[in-house]
Amino acid sequence: MSKKPTLLILAAGMGSRYGGLKQIDSVGPSGETIMDYSIYDAIRAGFDKVVFIIRRDFEEAFREKIVSKYEGKIKIELAFQDPYDLPEGCAFPEGREKPWGTAHAIRSARNVIDAPFAAINADDFYGADAFRRLAGFLTQVDATATPKQFAMVGYRLDQTLSENGSVARGICEVSPEGKLLGVTEMTKIAKKPDGAIQNEEDPANPVPLKGDCRVSLNLWGFTPALFEGMEARFKEWFHAHEGQLKAEWYIPFYVDELVKEGQATVEVLPTDSTWFGVTYREDKPVVVEAIRKMVAAGEYPAKLWP
């Protein structure tokens, strides 16, 4: 019998982004945070454990302000992203000020993950449908299969944009069978007043994009097989980027390598859920209003945690 899936939440950046672990901004009618909605959706989709990736220096505050809220509702474990947690033969470079990116963050959970798992960002609202689709995949996946079997929730590009500026998105190339062929990172995607969407990394030659193309928002479904060979991969990446003090090892890059080498397949799970994130300060009222409408429509209770 398959194990119930685990939710892995990348939260190591919370301390810096939110002022020494001040609670993430409230967006719900009873003070709920975006992360509250993700955990609520995961619980009702059938996930039975949450692993938070955090920095060790705010463990005490995190347990007091965040973990205590979920006690008795779902199993909780913590894992720690340590910039000095490197493969043998890799030395932390002088002048480096930050950890090593999302793949390094997920690697931090290698000793506490023992079931198929979803990996998400702490501060993105993904929607109930996305968690249902991932739970359906993760409860059926063959964790011993070769090639490795992974999944990614694919959002419509036009449902992930901000009215307040450009955004970065991973544009997905998907096979007719629904498998991920590759992800192209675009860092300046903007919606124009006439509704057109384009990538403006080269303002003189903007690239038009279709609103219904699928994008990655770092909502992944993995099995523990993800960690097999990860040490060697990270070591290769580390030595290839020595001297680049701001280089980061991102999970899409790692997965893309596995796919292109035939070592993994990634099923793209399409969702029509609208993604919300607070990329700009002006985005918060939009998120608050969207959640208010979902509560009014009965999609969420007015108070998530009675």
Confidence of residue 282 (pLDDT cuts 50, 70, 90): confident
| pLDDT value of position 141 | 96
Distances (CA, A) of 46 to 42, 154, 155, 207: 6, 20, 21, 40
pLDDT of residue 62: 85
The residue-averaged pLDDT of 240-269 equals 90
Q: What average pLDDT is seen over the chain? A: 88
Handedness of CA 128, 132, 134, 138 (dihedral sign): positive
pLDDT confidence of residue 6:
97
**Residue range 257-283: average pLDDT?**
88
pTM over 0.85: yes
Neighbours of 281 (CB within 10 A): 9
Q: Where are the beta strands (DSSP E) in 175-260?
A: 180-191, 197-199, 207-209, 214-222
pLDDT of residue 91: 85
Q: What is the pLDDT of residue 24?
A: 61
Question: Which pLDDT belongs to residue 76?
Answer: 95
User: Per-residue pLDDT averaged across 89-102, rounded?
Assistant: 84
Local confidence band at 2 (pLDDT 50, 70, 90 cut-offs): low
Band of residue 14 on the pLDDT scale cut at 50, 70, 90 = low
Cα separation, 222 vs 102, in Å, equals 14
Q: In the predicted model, is pLDDT for residue 5 greater than 90?
A: yes
Which ranges in the chain belong to alpha helices (H)?
Answer: 14-17, 34-45, 59-62, 68-70, 102-107, 128-138, 230-240, 251-260, 284-296
- At 23, is the pLDDT very low, low, confident or very high (cuts 50, 70, 90)? very low
231: which 2 tokens?
A: 């040490």
All structural domains of the chain:
6-144+216-259+273-296 (3.90.550.10)
Q: What is the mean pLDDT of residues 183-190?
A: 87
Q: Percentage of residues in the chain with pLDDT exceeding 90?
A: 52
Give the pLDDT of residue 107: 94
Output the pLDDT for position 22.
Answer: 44
Higher-confidence residue: 191 or 227?
227
**Is pLDDT of 95 > 90?**
no
Average pLDDT rounded to a whole number, residues 63-92: 88
Which of 47 and 161 is assigned the larger pLDDT?
47
Percentage of the residues of the chain whose pLDDT score is greater than 70 = 95
